[in-house]
Structure 1
Amino acid sequence: MGVLYDYFRAADDEAVAALMAATNGGPLVGPAAPPGVDVVEAKGVDPSVVLGQAVSLALGVAWDADLVDDRLIWPDAGAAGAEHDGPWVVRLGDRVRDVLAAVAEDRLPALADRWSRIEELSWGEPAGMLPVLRQLVGLARRAQAGGQRLYCWMSL
């Protein structure tokens, strides 16, 4: 069983905290999902490495561990303690939102093909990453248009 990653948009960290309180920590997709949350299910696409490599490919720069600039925002690190084993929510840096939102539609197939060839995605089919990338780009565009930020909910 792998780690689940759901990307979503929200106005701010306080809105995310309220969402987590209302859902008892998630999940954000499936039968127990709250209505009205704009979310992309992306199992296996962790923010720092896998999504970070998509961003690096879109920018044409080498991948770096700090490229995504993700920050734990829920649960509060002090309240959770070292024993907390999930779920968690991280806020992605606005640069990630803006880079993804700016990817031209005609670049998506080639970008998805290159992204699918990274070592961390070697388990999947190259064609399978195009729909995921399209959904993430769409989410980023909606977040940018709404003045919102991108977040990732994750659970073991």
Structure 2
Amino acid sequence: MGVFYDYYRAVDRRTAAESPDSPRAGVPSFDAVEAKGIDPVVILGQLIALARETPYGRDLVRTATVYPPPEGAPATVEEWEALPEDSPYKEGPMIEEFAVFPPALRVLAELRDLARRAREEGEMLYCRFCV
């Protein structure tokens, strides 16, 4: 089983937390790229390092959690154990590096173009994943 990642642009965290699959009244759908098994830290970072001809480092791609909101995360072991099994804080990806990998150059070009459009509009890139 692999993890699938979609990258999309949005103006802020609140907007990014909306479902990219559901159209919003009067607003076009999210501008997105399906990147299958390209996670936002390891594989995307390696692709960016390759494109920039620079050494890879885990800090090459900065990430921030949008959902589940970090403000509601359990703070203690007791709070963690009290969460229901289907809690979004307990569900999470297990990255199988390069397990489901689309042609890298096409996806890298699509991600580059998405990032450019986001920068032009003053937006950030977001990543949604599912197992």
Q: Flag whether TM exceeds 0.5 (same fold).
A: yes
Structure with the higher helix share, 1 or 2: 1
Q: Decide whether aligned partners of structure 1 residues 62 and 34 sit closer, same or farther in structure 2, where only a CA change above 3 A counts.
A: same
Q: Decide whether aligned partners of structure 1 residues 123 and 155 sit closer, same or farther in structure 2, where only a CA change above 3 A counts.
A: closer
Structure 2 CA distance, aligned partners of 1:130 and 1:146? 24
Structure 2 CA distance, aligned partners of 1:123 and 1:15? 28
Structure 2 CA distance, aligned partners of 1:77 and 1:11? 19
- State the 1:80 CA deviation: 4.6
The residue aligned with 1:34 is 22
Structure 1 CA distance, aligned partners of 2:108 and 2:55? 19
- State the 1:73 CA deviation: 2.1
Q: 5+ unaligned residues in a row in structure 1: which ranges?
A: 88-119
Equivalent of residue 62 in structure 1, options 31, 55, 63: 55
Bigger Cα Rg: 2
Q: 5+ unaligned residues in a row in structure 2: which ranges?
A: 24-28, 75-79, 81-86
The residue aligned with 1:3 is 3
Q: What's the C-alpha RMSD, in Å, of the aligned pairs?
A: 2.2
- State the 1:11 CA deviation: 0.6
- State the 1:65 CA deviation: 0.9
The secondary structure found in structure 2 opposite 1:2 is coil
Structure 1 CA distance, aligned partners of 2:101 and 2:92? 25
The residue aligned with 1:105 is none
The residue aligned with 1:47 is 40
Structure 2 CA distance, aligned partners of 1:16 and 1:4? 17
In the alignment, residue 54 of structure 1 is paired with which amino acid? L
Q: How many residue pairs get matched?
A: 110
Calculate the TM-score normalised by the size of structure 2: 0.72
- State the 1:136 CA deviation: 0.8
Q: Decide whether aligned partners of structure 1 residues 130 and 58 sit closer, same or farther in structure 2, where only a CA change above 3 A counts.
A: closer
The residue aligned with 1:147 is 122
- Listed one character per residue, the Cα deviations across residues 105-131 of structure 1 (whole Å, up to 9, x for unaligned) are xxxxxxxxxxxxxxx437657xx2222
Please state if 1:75 is matched with 2:63.
no
The residue aligned with 2:111 is 136
